[in-house]
Chain A
């Protein structure tokens, strides 16, 4: 298996622009997680899905952030409009079952100038 795939690996954008991060989970995994990693706050869970349905979005920082999972093999995390404080590494992870091992993608490094 190719593992969790994230694109792009690096994104540089200007403040106010829309940013879309993409994730393809491991085939057959029913759970998908979006995390954000920053120096100040470490690794934080933003949202997770089960069978394409958002289950817990309490970690989403504000309304500028939205996440979707239109099918079992694709998810997006969108920031609109982006701000410099959104600069971070965003990880996607998937797991086969609830409570199972989470497999992480390589991350997307976002820089908002």
Chain B
């Protein structure tokens, strides 16, 4: 079955420190992978996505993620965290794939990031 696992429920980092949020997926073929961010009381915003090609993808707000097929992972990274990055982060896989796309997203449980000054 298709699934997404985010092992860390909560992470706390100091402002300026580096960040890595983990994501593992279970999918039978090459997945479409996404990271979304949700600020308190807000909807989800797409940070970045991987469909094919270069396994290191750049996103908005200085985030990047690396697709590692051998590890079934798609970890999110940022070299220097800002206080405004405090939010909840969701990894997702595009499921029910067909030629050219997918038709539903399966989300992980989310990782809540706190940033200390």
Contacts and interface: CB of A to CB of B under 8 A. Distances in A.
B103 interface: yes
Interface residues of A, number: 21
A101 B49 contact: yes
B2 to A, nearest CB: 12
Choose among A4, A99, A103 the residue with the greatest number of B CB atoms under 10 Å from its CB.
A99
Contacts of A104: 36, 43-45
Interface in B36-58: 36, 41-46, 49
A28 to B, nearest CB: 17
Contact of A99 (B103, B106, B107): B103
Interface in B58-103: 90, 94, 96, 100-103
> For this complex, into which size category does the number of interface residues on chain B fall?
20 to 34
A42 B42 contact: no
B107 A43 contact: yes
Contacts of B110: 42-43
B43 A48 contact: no
Contacts of B17: none
Contacts of A106: 41-43
A48 B32 CA distance: 18
B49 to A, nearest CB: 7
Interface of B: 32, 36, 41-46, 49, 90, 94, 96, 100-110
Interface of A: 4, 42-45, 48, 55-56, 91, 93, 97-107
30 contacts: A4-B43, A42-B107, A42-B108, A42-B109, A42-B110, A43-B90, A45-B104, A45-B105, A48-B103, A48-B104, A56-B96, A56-B103, A93-B43, A93-B44, A98-B100, A98-B101, A98-B102, A99-B32, A99-B101, A99-B102, A101-B46, A101-B49, A102-B46, A102-B105, A104-B44, A104-B45, A106-B41, A106-B42, A107-B42, A107-B43
